[in-house]
Amino acid sequence: MEFKGKRCLVVGLGLSGISTIKFLRRERAKISVSESRTADELRETIKNLNKSEIEFEFGGHTSGFFQKAELIIISPGIPYDIEPLLAARKNRIPVIGEMELACQFLKCPILAVTGTNGKSTTASLLHQALLAGGKKSFLGGNIGKPLIDLVLSGEKVDYAVVEVSSFQLETTEAFHPQIATCLNVTADHLDRHPTFEEYLKFKKRIYLKMGKKDLLILNGDDDYTRDFAKETDIRRQFFSRNKSEKNGCIITSAGLRFVGSGGSGEISFSKMKLTGAHNQENVAAASLMAKAAGIPINIIQKAIDEFRGLPHRMEFVRELNGVRYYNDSKGTNVGSTVKSVESFNEPLVLLAGGKDKGTDLSPLNSLLKQKVKALILFGEAKERMRKAWGKLIKTIVVDTLEEGVKKSRTEAKEGDIVLFSPACSSFDQFRDYKHRGECFRRYVKELS
């Protein structure tokens, strides 16, 4: 693709937008930028750009500005169906995402991880196993660095480990991983995707460009991902708790047993620091991908034993008077919170709430009755959650997370767990899930 002199519009000035601008500048394109935030809000960001070379639109997106472009590159946070993009596509102006742009220039194999939950943990563990096995690995996409940064750096790596969200898959056509996994699919982002069927359609794009020599690794216990296997003749392996699984690995309480095309050998969970059945599935997917990339099983085992997990994912914060506090701010959907609640046998005080995604809340119903002694709700979604769950268990409604943490202090007794797993996104009261998790940590540490 030739960029010199081409009128390229970058939509969104987040991390991927900034990196895209740097790439386009190197390629001597004519750059314009459209951003919904104001110039004042982005003063520091703009200061680091050479403004004389860029035409800006701040405070919203307009069709007239978009129509001047020959190519539009959007950030993952930009909805694909805003009016200026619909008008641009109607006029046959190509609209792609930053990841789609990057993959056209990559020379290394792509190891891609998608799914509703567990993506970051799986991708990070896979990256660690590759490094431990002496491979040069780049970790990016929906985690860490934008993929275009690898193109910009010119660094030669053996593999690019790419976490891929449904938003990123929505804008892909040529994305072609050599090894890919879909960990699970549950309803999520229905505030962005109008139907679950559309969300599912974008998840399937992970394998649409894969060929018969590539490898697709799927959750054999998830109805949706199991169905993916019926729609493609790509080589497939499964991770499953079903002892009759023939290709991939079988998950037991003690570890993993590789079978069929997954090879032979076992992985032990005895020294694993990650907790919960969902993390056993993440470890299984990462292990199969690492094995397929040529990493010996003893190296994979070492990587698993040493991996401490990621912040804001079932993260232990502190113990106070016999009560343990866990930060699961990355639990941004109901399916993720189900997995987190299932991980504990102790009585739970659950803090939940945030920006409402409009998803079905009922998958938590039976677990709340079985495991949660008190439910503390806050944020935009609190009233809908109260209506759904208030008759099932003791429910307390507060305005803010800080109030919720203080209330949990009086509800939890020695031996209990306080779990913050919001089942919602964070954008009603926080910048993102990281900011929300950091605030939770601080509020807990301020308790006395």
- Tell me: the pLDDT tens digits for 22-44? 999 999 999 999 999 999 999 98
SS3 101: helix
The residue type found at 288 is L
Cα torsion through 428, 429, 433, 438, rounded to 10:
-170
pLDDT at 187: 67
Average pLDDT over the chain reads 95
pLDDT at 137: 99
- The architecture that CATH gives domain 7-93 is 3-Layer(aba) Sandwich (3.40)
Mean pLDDT of 206-228: 96
Going from the C-alpha of 162 to that of each of 93, 132, 147, 235, 423, the distances in angstroms are 27, 18, 8, 20, 24
pLDDT tens digit string along 386-430? 999 999 999 999 999 999 999 999 999 999 999 999 999 999 999
- For residue 52, pLDDT over 90 is answered with no
What is the CATH superfamily name and number for domain 100-306? Mur-like, catalytic domain (3.40.1190.10)
SS3 161: strand
- For residue 190, pLDDT over 60 is answered with no
pLDDT at 74: 98
Residues designated catalytic: 119, 142, 189
The β-bridge relationship of strands 315-320 and 235-240 is unpaired
pLDDT tens digit string along 321-362? 999 999 999 999 999 999 999 999 999 999 999 999 888 999
Mean pLDDT of 352-377: 96
Residue 275 vs residue 384, higher pLDDT: 384
pLDDT band at 144 (very low <50, low <70, confident <90, very high): confident
- For residue 191, pLDDT over 80 is answered with no
pLDDT at 49: 87
- For residue 10, pLDDT over 70 is answered with yes
pLDDT band at 189 (very low <50, low <70, confident <90, very high): low
pTM: 0.89
pLDDT band at 195 (very low <50, low <70, confident <90, very high): confident
Question: How far, in Å, CA of 255 to CA of 269, rounded?
Answer: 5
b (16+ CB within 10 A) / e for 222-236:
bebbeebbeeeebbb
Which residue has 């992970």 as its token pair? 206
Question: How far, in Å, CA of 373 to CA of 234, rounded?
Answer: 46
pLDDT band at 196 (very low <50, low <70, confident <90, very high): confident
Q: Give strand pairing partners of 9.
A: 32, 72
pLDDT at 192: 62
pLDDT at 120: 96
Please state the domain extents for the chain.
7-93, 100-306, 315-445
Least confidently predicted of 51-65, 107-121, 189-203, 331-345: 189-203
Length of the chain: 448
Percent of the chain scoring above 90 in pLDDT: 91
- For residue 48, pLDDT over 90 is answered with no
Fold of 315-445: Protein-Tyrosine Phosphatase; Chain A (3.90.190)
Mean pLDDT of 108-131: 97
